[in-house]
């Protein structure tokens, strides 16, 4: 029996295991630390901290919202992350719609 594949299982495993994912986003290469998965307007989204964009760290650490369909070539990485202090479980952008989120 093979494990499920595709964006959702990859992201869910990354959230549970606190592992980064890499993807193409807006024609750039990003490394993300996904903290939560949620539904918005019937589509899967993630709340994630951008670790790098095109190989460079962001100017400031923040939680961004990414539509999963907009993340191309999504793949798991062998790179752990710590839960970010800027992640707010009660963030109104996804409150009440959470499917899965990181545990402390």
Per-residue confidence (pLDDT) for residue 2, from 0 to 100: 62
Per-residue confidence (pLDDT) for residue 97, from 0 to 100: 86
Q: What range defines the domain where residue 44 resides?
A: 7-101
Residue 2 lies in a domain: no
Residue 32 lies in a domain: yes
pTM of the model: 0.93
The rounded distance, in Å, linking the Cα atoms of 77 and 14 is: 8
Q: What total number of domains does the chain contain?
A: 1
Residue 1 lies in a domain: no
pLDDT tens for the chain, 104 residues long, are 666 668 999 999 999 999 999 999 999 999 999 999 999 999 999 999 999 999 999 999 999 999 999 999 999 999 999 999 999 988 998 877 899 999 98
Residue 24 lies in a domain: yes
Residue 49 lies in a domain: yes
Per-residue confidence (pLDDT) for residue 6, from 0 to 100: 81
Which backbone phi and psi does 18 adopt, to 5 degrees? 55, 55
């Amino acid at each position: 029996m093979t494990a499920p594949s595709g964006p959702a299982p990859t992201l869910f495993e990354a959230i549970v295991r606190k592992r980064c994912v890499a993807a193409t986003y807006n024609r750039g290469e990003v490394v993300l630390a996904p903290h939560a998965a949620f539904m918005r307007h019937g589509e899967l989204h993630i709340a994630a901290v951008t670790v790098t964009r095109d190989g460079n760290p962001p100017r400031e650490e923040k939680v961004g919202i990414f539509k999963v369909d907009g993340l191309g070539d999504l793949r798991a990485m062998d790179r752990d992350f710590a839960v970010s202090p800027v992640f707010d479980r009660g963030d109104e952008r996804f409150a009440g719609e959470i499917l899965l989120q990181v545990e402390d």
